[in-house]
Structure 1
Amino acid sequence: MKKAVSDLNFGDLLDAVGEVVADRPALVYGPLTRSWREFSERTNRLARHLMALGLEPGAKVAFYLRNSPSYVELLAACFKARLTHVNVNYRYLDEELYHIFDNSDAAAIAYDPEFRPHVQALRPRLQKVRVFFESEIGQHGEDAQSLEQGCVSGDGSSLDVQRAGDDLYFMYTGGTTGMPKAVMWPHNNRIEVIGIARGDTAAEHARSVADSDVFPVLLPAAPLMHSTGFTSTVSALCAGGCVVLLPSPRFDAAECLSEIERCRVTAIALVGDAFSVPILEELRARGGDYDLSSVQALTSAGAMWSAGNKRALLDYFGNASARDSLGSSEGSRLGSAELKPGENTETGTFTMGPNTRVLTEEFRDVAPGSGEAGLLATFGPIPLGYYKDEARNRETFPTIDGVRHSIPGDWCTLEADGTITLLGRGSNCINTGGEKVFPEEAEEALKAHPDVLDAAVFGVPDERWGEAVAGVVRVRSVTDTDESALGDYLKTRLAGYKRPKKLSCVLQSFRAENGKMDYDAAKSLFAP
């Protein structure tokens, strides 16, 4: 029986596509190129290996990995074996890492060798984990298996597995307390909302791919452990395309531009200005050194992307358009914006998605052109909710007029012409380069210092990151408190992107009479 699109999952699509584009490249990583035939065989072997270890459908596999073939191949293997992907932010410190491993009920953890000390430190507490994998070829700790060995040993043919559209993957995102929460995405909902399938069955999709004259060559500049990098990579693979990964552990604009030229990249996945700014700096310094004519699309999601930087990039990427997608881990395709060379636009202006509404907190539709701020909401193919968090599910995924919605927390105004102008994420969440930072976590870390009486943390505008984390601390004595020492104090308590880039020490209180934080008062005391 043919499997309808409502019952498709990514494993089905990758199997079918792999058969029709076997000789095309699937992965490029520095000097390494893997064909689709190799990719299919390696991921089939790894999927069998995972199943042989006793990992049953629905078991959680934590990806503590940087961008590399190991991430992409393990992801495909998990899709094929019906295992649940769990993304791990490799910038996290031990307690944050433990929260993800424990909260997700991870049965397996795959990690790069550089992260071995963190895994070893946590290992005595990870009683739910059945198997550990290290990624690097030819190396693995004595208590871990080699991912590479799983890719090269055994049967490389397609698995005889009956998959389902409601198989899940997890995408961890920040929570209101600063601890991340897992958004549960069914494969079929994700395939539908992104528009990945070209037909009602995997076979029809594969035939369409085989008949195509155009195959994407994607360079995900964003980390694969973020939804932007993850989704763009999966979409490119399902289209029979090639994914070009940057070998350097940290983003290097010169390397990125060189790989674009060498691999004839057609699409780049960014996260707003955090990537645009260093690319522009390199282009302004050495723009004439790069042939960027192959690029057709610069795509971004997950952070603000300034109109000025879009226009500046298109001066160098003359054959491309800048495609800005408004969404979050909790809901996709809330809005979109496309800018072509020579056109103009405003930052944060989007065309509404087909299933998007703008609602008040009482779930009343905002009238176009009213100037009233509202919350973006979407319905249709949305996540199941957060894993093991019913309270947050009721808040973020309410049922309105009998229809289940996702309300991620983004505020906007609905203009008279039907476009939306994004105002920002609700409460005081800081979005710095696509990373969510909740002020309360940094504030509590600062207040643990003996010289600090109170702390307020907030975002300030930043050309590269969209927002930079900043703060004001109320101290016992301004002369006895060193702001750089406070920064050093936080280095062992918070991940780097969560730490304030600038702190101001003051003697005044910035709380209201009722004891609540007055962020406006705190910001008025901040000295940039």
Structure 2
Amino acid sequence: MTDISGLPGFYRIAEADPGRRAVIDTDGTVTTYGELLARVNRVSHGLRARGLGPGDVVAGVLPNGIDAVVMLLATGQIGLYHVPVNWHLTESEIGYILADSEARITVTPESGGTAALAEGQPETAPRDRTAGAVMWYTSGTTGFPKGVRRPLSGAEPEQAVPLYTWFLGEVCDLRPGDEVHLVTSPMYHSAPCAHTLFALHLGHTLVIAPRFDPVTVLELIERHRVTNAMMVPTMFHRMLRLPAEVREKYDVSSLRQVVHTGAACPVADKKQMMDWWGPVLYEYYGSTESAIAFAVKPHDWLARPGTVGRPAPAFEARILGPDGEELPPGEPGLIHVRSATNRFEYLKDPAKTAASMRDGWYAPGDIGYLDADGYLFLCDRRTDLIVSGGVNIYPAEVEAAILEHPAVADAAVIGVPDEEWGHVVVALVQPLPGPRPSAEELLEHLGPRLARFKHPRVVEFRDELPRTPTGKLSRSRVRETYLAGGESGGGGAAESADGSGDGGAAAD
């Protein structure tokens, strides 16, 4: 194959080595770099023909596959913001994101996907190419999604590639070359999407799994000699539950980097995975807003089990106490990070943008401590956030949907530790006087209102839920009492509905 190590990213690699394999899709279809570039260029022209220009927004409600890849690359060379939308969401949830982002065009399979945009357009590169960006929607504690937008550079897409290449080499030991990247998670999540784009800028071949299944993933690793992948801890847990004879059946010796993020990984699971796959697990910690703020390589983690790493290149970190004082090593507090190269804003919400910063430092909302060598250890996620299968679930959003039921007086939603998912959603419901709805009726009520992965696994009824003197629901008291095995205020029978959700969507 052509030496592409000095070429700045996908577009230049595709021009120099058009026969290089770019994508092996979910159905096994192979697309070369040249074929992918031709399709990307046609879609770029198609978007411009519809009147879109730099700074405009395009949304994609697309399953994993070639269309999702094309949208990333097409918007990425003509200065557009691309909003990948979770296709598990309900119609109203998707509608909110499309309206709030002011998407000029929405691409879906039903609308013809990228083929409709490409029809009749030339395969030549568009003129006046400028870098676009992905705008992610992330929920706040109110449960309403907010767009996280970064400024457009106005420069050609190739300008930033050397920085990407250097950063990924420093953090994950990923290099340009003839490597194979396995896509295991939905590309509407930020990390899987970013690694998909990074892989193509490095000249790697993408192998897209139809969905996460432990045996399917092992088969793909063996068949395509996969060298790197991005996963979440729930996937490790599922693979470790396979019988030993199944695990030993597959050759995974090609793996060199398996990057994981999205949730805390149990130390025992990570050790078992490295016993099986070797020291190939790279971990990083961050958020949609902060990007990759901390990272740790396999041998450094083995020397300090449980750490999520030291500050990534160009990042600084500090731990602050409740009064804003900087805390010494070993003392837990609120994590703050800062980077001159990472700027963002919440779309249409300057107050929220300002509130997220303290003198230029961003707080992801998590509690942790730094050891004497500057390695970060997480103590807990933000108080109310539920992380299930690597996916953020916001209690306020679920509570609001439950409260729409005419027989519900109050509701508290909490995350309860779970061996497989990290946490599962539990709803404690205070009914109004009169006939009480069943747990099954409440879950049916949530069907059109919330994506299934947000549904409670357990619904229990309480006579009363605790509130603060100001009238605010006290989730901390609810959680503490529930985990202690007691009632969350008042007496009353409890009814449970287990297994009603499908867990974190990152494992779908």
How far is the alpha carbon of 1:477 from its aligned partner?
6.8
The AA in structure 1 aligned to 2:46 is H
How far is the alpha carbon of 1:310 from its aligned partner?
1.5
1:252 aligns with 2:213: yes
Contact preservation (8 Å) 1:447, 1:454 = yes
2:460 alignment counterpart: 504
1:292 alignment counterpart: 252
2:228 alignment counterpart: 267
1:46 aligns with 2:25: no
Which of 287, 290, 293 is equivalent to 1:328? 287
1:90 alignment counterpart: 87
Contact preservation (8 Å) 2:407, 2:432 = yes
2:318 alignment counterpart: 358
Give distance in 2, aligned partners of 1:69 and 1:506. 48
Contact preservation (8 Å) 1:311, 1:344 = no
Deviations 1:277-313, CA, capped at 9 Å, x for gaps: 2222346461122111111111112222222222222
How far is the alpha carbon of 1:478 from its aligned partner?
10
2:477 alignment counterpart: 521
Deviations 1:430-460, CA, capped at 9 Å, x for gaps: 1222222221121222223233222111111
Alignment of 1:214-253 (within 5 A): 214-247=177-210, 250-253=211-214
Alignment of 1:79-118 (within 5 A): 79-113=76-110
1:18 alignment counterpart: 14
Contact preservation (8 Å) 1:253, 1:279 = yes
How far is the alpha carbon of 1:424 from its aligned partner?
3.2
Q: Structure 1's 75 and 193: CA in aligned 2 closer, same or farther, altered over 3 A?
A: closer
1:436 aligns with 2:389: no
2:501 alignment counterpart: none
Q: Greater strand share, 1 or 2?
A: 1
| Residues matched between the structures, number | 466
Give distance in 2, aligned partners of 1:349 and 1:107. 39
1:62 alignment counterpart: 59
Structure 2: segments with no counterpart, 5+ residues: 1-6, 168-173, 486-495, 497-508
1:181 alignment counterpart: 146
Give distance in 1, aligned partners of 2:231 and 2:236. 7
1:346 aligns with 2:305: yes
Greater shift, 60-69 or 472-481, is seen at 472-481
Contact preservation (8 Å) 2:336, 2:361 = no
- Report the TM-score, using the length of structure 1 for normalisation: 0.81
SS of the residue aligned with 2:217? Answer: helix
Give distance in 1, aligned partners of 2:371 and 2:222. 40
Which of 112, 117, 127 is equivalent to 1:134? 112
Give distance in 2, aligned partners of 1:262 and 1:484. 43
The AA in structure 1 aligned to 2:464 is Q
The AA in structure 1 aligned to 2:254 is S
Contact preservation (8 Å) 2:228, 2:257 = yes
Contact preservation (8 Å) 2:64, 2:208 = yes
- Give aligned-pair identity as a percent: 27
SS of the residue aligned with 1:423? Answer: strand
How far is the alpha carbon of 1:407 from its aligned partner?
2.4
Structure 1: segments with no counterpart, 5+ residues: 1-9, 114-132, 136-146, 200-208
How far is the alpha carbon of 1:51 from its aligned partner?
1.1
1:487 alignment counterpart: 443
Contact preservation (8 Å) 1:472, 1:525 = no
Instruction: Detail structure 1 runs of 4+ shifted over 6 Å in the superposition.
Output: 189-194
Contact preservation (8 Å) 2:393, 2:454 = yes
The AA in structure 1 aligned to 2:137 is Y
Contact preservation (8 Å) 2:75, 2:133 = no
1:27 aligns with 2:16: no
The AA in structure 1 aligned to 2:328 is A
